[in-house]
Amino acid sequence: MTNPTVHPHEARVAVESACALGEGALWDDRTGTLLWVDIEGRAIWRHQPETGLRERLEVPERVGFVALTEDHDIVVAGFKSGLARVHLFGGQTQPIVAPEPDKPDNRINDGVVGPDGSLYFGTMHGEGAEATGAFYRYDGGSLSRFHGDMPVTNGPAVSPDGQTLYTVDTRARFIFAHVLTDGVPGEAQRFARFEEGWGNPDGLAVDAQGHLWVCHWGGSRITRFAPDGSVERVVPIPTAQVTKCAFGGPDMTTLFVTTAARGRDRASEPHAGHVFAVETDVKGQRSHVYKG
């Protein structure tokens, strides 16, 4: 990546959350609410920029992501133990399915809802030390494994036409593309690979033009890839561990970005763990709702 185009707008702090491991940025356009999680802090956050609402809900175990349901006050969460419904008022949980009861050291990491209402999510070894993670699809009735044997999974994200699912092998620095046929992912095809010095690919977002925005863990930026895998631009973020991004705001052109404070020096990196916002010239996709 030689002299890439740099995004013209600077990232600003949107929420001073100081998350140990902020992840899972998600915009609910129905209520104008940004949701995200603190994996190590065992919490679900939500923020309404228009009203100033900011809430932190403690949960009983590590949580990798949340997904919308038809009830605005209930989300599906990816806990260490499995998928569960969570009531945002009160925190009550209702287990749905455990993908890997035979792997007690694994946990669910990131996830997304596809156009058909199915959940796509990944698991990983708790410390990322062993290649025991895999990707799954859950349609509310059946659970199927479609890509596996990696220490740290990330993504997934779906193209606006619903034809492609992107996944990430974070340790190997690969981003993959899967053809979706009736919601079922095909074989993994290499889409892009991070170069040395970029850090590692983490969370993803796909905009309405089909471009892929990839967060750099350890790289202090986001890269926007064109559908052919070429680099279109980079977005600097003023902290190293950039974890997940999601489009939101009234016109879906604001990119919200979660970060992590784990292992960072607060004196030299005071914004680590905060949520950032970056104005863009493109629209994002509205979040799909889990139908299971």
Active site residues: 202
Structural contact between residues 137 and 155, judged by C-beta atoms closer than 8 angstroms: no
Amino acid symbol at 212: L
Amino acid symbol at 15: V
Other Cβ atoms within 10 Å of 183 Cβ, number: 16
Report the Cα–Cα distance between both ends of the chain, in Å, rounded: 42
Q: What are phi and psi of 73, to 5 degrees?
A: -100, 5
Q: Is 229 helix (H, G, I), strand (E, B) or coil?
A: coil
Query: Encoding tokens for residue 205?
Result: 């977002």
Query: Encoding tokens for residue 32?
Result: 């104008």
| Residue 155 DSSP code | E
Q: Can you spell out the DSSP letters for 158-201?
A: E-TTS-EEEEEETTTTEEEEEEEETTEE---EEEEEPPTTS-EE
Structural contact between residues 17 and 38, judged by C-beta atoms closer than 8 angstroms: yes
Torsion angle of alpha carbons 74, 78, 82, 83, nearest 10°? 30
